[in-house]
Amino acid sequence: MKIKRIEHVGVIVRDVEQSRKLWEDCFGIPLGGTEANERRRLALYPIGESMVELIAGTTPDSKHQRMVDEGKGGLNHICFEVEDIDEALAELKEKGIPLIDKVPRIGHAGCRIAYLDPSATENCLIELAELPKGGHHDDGWS
Protein backbone atom coordinates (compact mmCIF):
# COMPACT_ATOMS: atom_id res chain seq x y z
CA MET A 1 0.00 0.00 0.00
CA LYS A 2 1.35 3.41 -0.89
CA ILE A 3 0.17 6.29 1.30
CA LYS A 4 0.80 9.50 -0.64
CA ARG A 5 -0.08 12.13 1.98
CA ILE A 6 -2.56 13.16 4.64
CA GLU A 7 -5.47 14.10 2.40
CA HIS A 8 -7.50 15.71 5.17
CA VAL A 9 -8.35 15.78 8.85
CA GLY A 10 -12.09 15.68 9.59
CA VAL A 11 -13.58 17.86 12.33
CA ILE A 12 -17.23 17.51 13.42
CA VAL A 13 -18.83 20.91 14.11
CA ARG A 14 -22.32 22.05 15.12
CA ASP A 15 -22.66 24.64 12.35
CA VAL A 16 -20.33 24.93 9.34
CA GLU A 17 -21.21 28.57 8.70
CA GLN A 18 -20.47 29.56 12.31
CA SER A 19 -17.23 27.54 12.33
CA ARG A 20 -16.08 29.23 9.13
CA LYS A 21 -15.60 32.45 11.12
CA LEU A 22 -12.88 30.78 13.20
CA TRP A 23 -11.05 29.22 10.27
CA GLU A 24 -11.30 32.23 7.94
CA ASP A 25 -11.39 35.29 10.23
CA CYS A 26 -9.23 34.08 13.12
CA PHE A 27 -6.77 31.73 11.39
CA GLY A 28 -6.90 33.52 8.01
CA ILE A 29 -7.25 30.28 6.04
CA PRO A 30 -9.14 30.80 2.76
CA LEU A 31 -12.09 28.52 2.10
CA GLY A 32 -11.33 25.95 -0.60
CA GLY A 33 -14.95 25.01 -1.15
CA THR A 34 -18.12 23.59 0.27
CA GLU A 35 -20.09 20.46 -0.43
CA ALA A 36 -23.48 19.29 0.85
CA ASN A 37 -25.93 16.45 0.55
CA GLU A 38 -29.03 15.37 2.49
CA ARG A 39 -26.92 14.06 5.44
CA ARG A 40 -24.05 16.50 5.90
CA ARG A 41 -22.45 19.79 4.93
CA LEU A 42 -18.69 20.23 4.45
CA ALA A 43 -16.35 23.21 4.38
CA LEU A 44 -12.87 22.39 3.07
CA TYR A 45 -9.72 24.32 3.95
CA PRO A 46 -6.58 23.51 1.95
CA ILE A 47 -3.42 23.87 4.01
CA GLY A 48 -0.29 22.95 2.11
CA GLU A 49 -0.83 19.55 0.51
CA SER A 50 -3.64 18.62 2.93
CA MET A 51 -7.01 19.95 4.07
CA VAL A 52 -9.11 20.45 7.15
CA GLU A 53 -12.65 19.20 6.52
CA LEU A 54 -15.38 20.69 8.72
CA ILE A 55 -18.43 18.39 8.87
CA ALA A 56 -21.90 19.26 10.17
CA GLY A 57 -25.14 17.33 10.06
CA THR A 58 -27.97 18.84 8.03
CA THR A 59 -30.86 17.59 10.17
CA PRO A 60 -31.37 17.20 13.92
CA ASP A 61 -31.34 13.39 13.62
CA SER A 62 -28.29 13.16 11.33
CA LYS A 63 -25.28 11.17 12.53
CA HIS A 64 -23.00 14.20 12.75
CA GLN A 65 -25.56 16.34 14.60
CA ARG A 66 -26.15 13.52 17.10
CA MET A 67 -22.39 13.30 17.67
CA VAL A 68 -22.25 17.03 18.51
CA ASP A 69 -25.28 16.69 20.78
CA GLU A 70 -23.58 13.79 22.60
CA GLY A 71 -20.39 15.80 23.12
CA LYS A 72 -18.48 13.86 20.45
CA GLY A 73 -17.77 16.81 18.16
CA GLY A 74 -14.25 17.95 17.36
CA LEU A 75 -11.46 15.94 15.79
CA ASN A 76 -13.08 12.93 14.13
CA HIS A 77 -10.75 11.23 11.67
CA ILE A 78 -7.58 11.37 9.61
CA CYS A 79 -7.70 10.58 5.91
CA PHE A 80 -4.76 9.19 3.98
CA GLU A 81 -4.62 9.48 0.22
CA VAL A 82 -3.64 6.12 -1.26
CA GLU A 83 -2.56 5.31 -4.77
CA ASP A 84 -4.91 2.31 -5.18
CA ILE A 85 -7.69 1.87 -2.63
CA ASP A 86 -8.65 -1.63 -3.78
CA GLU A 87 -5.06 -2.78 -3.33
CA ALA A 88 -4.83 -1.03 0.05
CA LEU A 89 -8.02 -2.68 1.35
CA ALA A 90 -6.88 -6.11 0.15
CA GLU A 91 -3.51 -5.65 1.87
CA LEU A 92 -5.08 -4.50 5.12
CA LYS A 93 -7.59 -7.38 5.07
CA GLU A 94 -4.71 -9.82 4.50
CA LYS A 95 -2.94 -8.30 7.52
CA GLY A 96 -6.05 -8.89 9.65
CA ILE A 97 -7.14 -5.25 9.98
CA PRO A 98 -10.94 -5.07 10.35
CA LEU A 99 -12.61 -2.73 7.88
CA ILE A 100 -15.77 -0.69 8.26
CA ASP A 101 -15.97 -0.48 4.45
CA LYS A 102 -14.92 -3.68 2.74
CA VAL A 103 -15.67 -2.06 -0.63
CA PRO A 104 -14.87 1.58 -1.46
CA ARG A 105 -17.73 4.08 -1.70
CA ILE A 106 -17.89 7.59 -3.13
CA GLY A 107 -16.91 10.42 -0.78
CA HIS A 108 -16.22 14.14 -1.19
CA ALA A 109 -15.29 15.43 -4.64
CA GLY A 110 -15.83 11.98 -6.18
CA CYS A 111 -13.04 10.30 -4.18
CA ARG A 112 -13.32 6.56 -3.59
CA ILE A 113 -13.16 6.15 0.19
CA ALA A 114 -13.19 3.47 2.88
CA TYR A 115 -12.88 3.53 6.66
CA LEU A 116 -10.86 1.20 8.88
CA ASP A 117 -12.34 -0.12 12.12
CA PRO A 118 -10.90 2.01 14.95
CA SER A 119 -10.63 -1.08 17.16
CA ALA A 120 -7.53 -1.98 15.13
CA THR A 121 -5.99 1.51 14.97
CA GLU A 122 -5.69 2.49 18.64
CA ASN A 123 -9.20 3.96 18.53
CA CYS A 124 -8.28 6.39 15.73
CA LEU A 125 -10.80 6.54 12.89
CA ILE A 126 -8.81 6.30 9.65
CA GLU A 127 -10.22 6.95 6.21
CA LEU A 128 -8.48 5.98 2.99
CA ALA A 129 -9.17 7.98 -0.17
CA GLU A 130 -8.27 7.45 -3.80
CA LEU A 131 -8.71 10.64 -5.81
CA PRO A 132 -10.50 10.41 -9.15
CA LYS A 133 -8.12 9.53 -11.98
CA GLY A 134 -6.53 12.73 -13.20
CA GLY A 135 -8.42 14.61 -10.51
CA HIS A 136 -7.32 16.93 -7.79
CA HIS A 137 -8.60 17.18 -4.26
CA ASP A 138 -10.49 20.35 -5.17
CA ASP A 139 -12.53 18.91 -8.07
CA GLY A 140 -16.25 19.19 -7.49
CA TRP A 141 -16.16 21.90 -4.84
CA SER A 142 -18.79 24.57 -5.04
Q: What's the gap between Cα 39 and its chain centre?
A: 14
Which residue ranges form the domains of the chain, and what is each CATH number?
3-130 (3.10.180.10)
Using CA atoms, how far apart are residues 117 and 48, in angstroms rounded to an integer? Answer: 28
Pairing of strands 33-36, 40-47: antiparallel
Q: List, for residues 43-76, the tens digit of each pLDDT value.
A: 999 999 999 999 999 999 999 999 999 999 999 9
* pTM beyond 0.75, yes or no: yes
